[in-house]
Chains A and B, each alone.
Chain A
Amino acid sequence: MRKKLWIILALAFIIPGLLFTASCAKKAVKDDAALAQQAEDEKAMAEKARQEELARQQAIEEERLKEAQEARDMFLNDDIYFEFDSSILTSEAQLLLKKKAEWLQNNPEAMSTIEGHCDDRGTNEYNLALGDRRATSAKTFLVDLGISASRLTTISYGEERPVDPGQNEEAWAKNRRCRFTTN
């Protein structure tokens, strides 16, 4: 009985010890893998973050480019309009010209030609002069906003280049305009 008890005792010590060692060993192995995994995860995370940052920056850049393109498109595509037989800048025209001035300030290397156009109801000769007055009005406004006159050229096309050949107020209104180009 005593021998049996001793064995039990021994077992009682050894088995947990074994168990301990076993568990100990097992635990050590598990920790190494976790560490590696963690490192990998971290690397992946960092990579992901880097990628994300890159994407973010790219998005920002794209947004910036898009905005620049939009600003450029605004500058080139948004014509300013005039009343019949008038070269006076309307408040809408002045607002647009302020935006165009901003763009010119942000793009100091850009040179621009301002085209003056008319609807075709008047006579060609007078309209050439009126187109000249319109382009000059727009140029003077931009110069007053601080744009160097040397960056701005004017040209009148009179009624020779309508955007809309229609014979109605809608078409005429579209044709009485200043168009901006960059060279």
Chain B
Amino acid sequence: MKSCRTLIACLIASVFILTIPGVSLAGYDYIDITQPYLRKLPIAVPFFKKISAGDDAAQLSRTLSDLLSDTLDFTGYFKIMNREAFLADPQTDAGFANVTFHDWTSIGAELLVTGGVLVKDNLLEVELRLYDTFKEKLLIGKRYKGGISDQRRIIRRFCSDVIYSLTGDRGIFNTKIAFVSTSSGTKEIYICEFDGYNIRRVTHAKTITLTPAWSSDGQWIAYTSYARGKPDLYIKHLKEKRGTVVSKKGLNITPAWLPNKFDLSATLSFSGDPEIYLLTGTGKVIKRLTNNKGIDVSPAWSPDGKNMAFVSKRSGTPQIHVKNLDSGQVNRLTFQGRYNTQPSWSPKGDKIAYSSMEKGRNNIFVIGIDGQGPIQLTHNEGDNESPSWSPDGNLIVFSSTREGPSRIYVMTGYGTDQRRLLTLKGQQTQPKWSPRMTRK
């Protein structure tokens, strides 16, 4: 990781001064962020132009353009156009720097990304441009330098700029997803990048390990493990060997970190009853947050940290409730269905995703915090559980048995564009989307 950081330090992203007259930053009007998936923006990403000779550049000009279109496609905002329809040859200058806009507008492309790849002594130089083809405007032009191993970073950074110029939001390209997998034979926690790439195992408990939860700075995870024979709560720094274990009598489960604080909530049953408590990141109980005989479990925090959604059986069946921390008042949120669990509060603040069981099958639903809806997002495709919002509030990661074994899937917050995130031995469950990692 250290060497990566040194490399990234050498990675220079320079906005080159654009000489084309009339260039201005887009005013975020390309993608209606209230209805972003109603109309997907047709975008053309031709193979990049290889600027240096040699196989490396030829190879990279293809893989990088594929990676870029996959990365943009991940957001659900775009319709990636088929390259077979393209009129311009990407290896000529017309396919890169001197774009003939008519070549693209005539096939319906509204946006165009061109690139040039230069490889020299294992160093990579990539120039990337985003055009509005109808306005005949260059929206972004950047040049990146780095090692060959920095290629994903370069593409992600450019995509982040693309999304920012189109929506005003930085997107999710520097986020990760934690999940549970049985690849090693027992349930352990793994982490991958937002697109399922670069899977890394983080626990080696060789026993049941469950429910990873990210701290709001993305530096810590909390999870439950039976490593000491019972369900204890582990709070672990992801890079340094620091952390603590909360090992009270009974349950120590379902951690959820508070926004912008080194505090977390979790369900503990040392009192004889599962109740939700507020704890410090060092594992000390600050106070009890629920007070009700029967099950209270699975806290999820509103982005302002003032409200906590949780599952309670106080009304007879498991339902999502919301507690206001200031007033102490608890309101029941879900009334449809007899088994509503696993709340995840949207980072935009207005919705809660959860899983609802009917006839033994779980499906993902979204409900407004005012009770509007609920809207069902998954239908008749196996068991669908554990929704978790992306930090920009646009996507939901969840687990599904639609292809047999449980695997991790991603969809938009409206239920469109459902796709598998990764394929791994064993079964994958309980995905949790990280906050945006602060760049270092």
Residues of A within 8 A of B (CB): 85, 121-126, 128-130, 132-133, 136, 154-157, 160
Is the Cβ of A123 less than 8 Å from the Cβ of B251? no
A123, A133, A156, most chain B CB atoms within 10 A: A123
A-B contact list, 17 entries, CB within 8 Å: A85-B318, A85-B339, A122-B318, A122-B341, A123-B355, A123-B386, A124-B210, A125-B211, A125-B254, A125-B267, A126-B311, A128-B231, A132-B274, A133-B274, A156-B250, A160-B187, A160-B210
Is the Cβ of B253 less than 8 Å from the Cβ of A128? yes
B297 touches which one: A85, A125, A157, A160 (CB < 8 A)?
A125
A156 to B251, CA, bound (A): 7
6 nearest A-B pairs in the assembled complex, by CB-CB distance: A129-B274, A129-B297, A129-B295, A123-B341, A121-B360, A126-B341
CB closest residue in chain A, given B211: A125
A121 to B382, CA, bound (A): 12
> Beta-carbon contacts of B182-223 to A below 8 Å, as 1s and 0s?
000001000000000000000000001011000000000000
- Shortest CB distance B349–A (Å): 23
CB closest residue in chain B, given A157: B208
A128 touches which one: B229, B251, B272, B360 (CB < 8 A)?
B251
> Beta-carbon contacts of B243-269 to A below 8 Å, as 1s and 0s?
000000011011000000000000101
A128 to B341, CA, bound (A): 12
CB closest residue in chain A, given B298: A125
Question: Is B357 interfacial (CB-CB < 8 Å)?
Answer: yes
A121 to B250, CA, bound (A): 23
A180 to B296, CA, bound (A): 25
- Shortest CB distance A141–B (Å): 14
Is the Cβ of A125 less than 8 Å from the Cβ of B253? yes
Is the Cβ of A122 less than 8 Å from the Cβ of B251? no
What B residues does A125 contact at CB under 8 A? Answer: 210-211, 253-254, 267, 297-298, 311, 341-342
- Shortest CB distance B1–A (Å): 31
Is the Cβ of A121 less than 8 Å from the Cβ of B295? no
Question: Is B385 interfacial (CB-CB < 8 Å)?
Answer: yes
- Shortest CB distance B131–A (Å): 46
A169 to B386, CA, bound (A): 24
- Shortest CB distance A125–B (Å): 5
What A residues does B294 contact at CB under 8 A? Answer: 133
What A residues does B297 contact at CB under 8 A? Answer: 125-126, 128-129
Question: Is B151 interfacial (CB-CB < 8 Å)?
Answer: no
Contacts known (A129-B253, A129-B274, A133-B274); A124 close to B339, Cβ less than 8 A: no
A132, A156, A157, A160, most chain B CB atoms within 10 A: A132
A155 to B208, CA, bound (A): 13
Contacts known (A85-B318, A121-B360); A132 close to B210, Cβ less than 8 A: no
CB closest residue in chain B, given A121: B360
Taking A123-B355, A125-B342, A132-B269 as given, write out 14 further A-B residue pairs in contact, using a Cβ cutoff of 8 Å, ordered by the A residue number: A85-B317, A85-B318, A123-B342, A123-B385, A125-B211, A125-B298, A129-B251, A129-B269, A129-B297, A132-B250, A132-B251, A155-B231, A160-B208, A160-B210
- Shortest CB distance B211–A (Å): 6
CB closest residue in chain B, given A124: B210
Question: Is B167 interfacial (CB-CB < 8 Å)?
Answer: no
What A residues does B355 contact at CB under 8 A? Answer: 123
Is the Cβ of B274 less than 8 Å from the Cβ of A124? no
- Shortest CB distance A31–B (Å): 79
CB closest residue in chain A, given B229: A155
A23 to B175, CA, bound (A): 121
What A residues does B224 contact at CB under 8 A? Answer: 128
- Shortest CB distance B178–A (Å): 15
A124 touches which one: B211, B250, B251 (CB < 8 A)?
B211
Is the Cβ of A126 less than 8 Å from the Cβ of B231? no
Question: Is B430 interfacial (CB-CB < 8 Å)?
Answer: yes
What A residues does B295 contact at CB under 8 A? Answer: 126, 129-130, 133
A123 to B258, CA, bound (A): 23
What A residues does B274 contact at CB under 8 A? Answer: 129, 132-133
What A residues does B388 contact at CB under 8 A? Answer: none
What A residues does B360 contact at CB under 8 A? Answer: 121
What A residues does B341 contact at CB under 8 A? Answer: 122-123, 125-126
- Shortest CB distance A27–B (Å): 85
- Shortest CB distance A183–B (Å): 11
- Shortest CB distance A140–B (Å): 8
- Shortest CB distance A114–B (Å): 12
Contacts known (A85-B317, A128-B297); A122 close to B357, Cβ less than 8 A: yes
Question: Is B346 interfacial (CB-CB < 8 Å)?
Answer: no
> Beta-carbon contacts of B333-366 to A below 8 Å, as 1s and 0s?
0000001011000000000000101001010000
Is the Cβ of B187 less than 8 Å from the Cβ of A126? no
What A residues does B254 contact at CB under 8 A? Answer: 125, 128
- Shortest CB distance B46–A (Å): 45
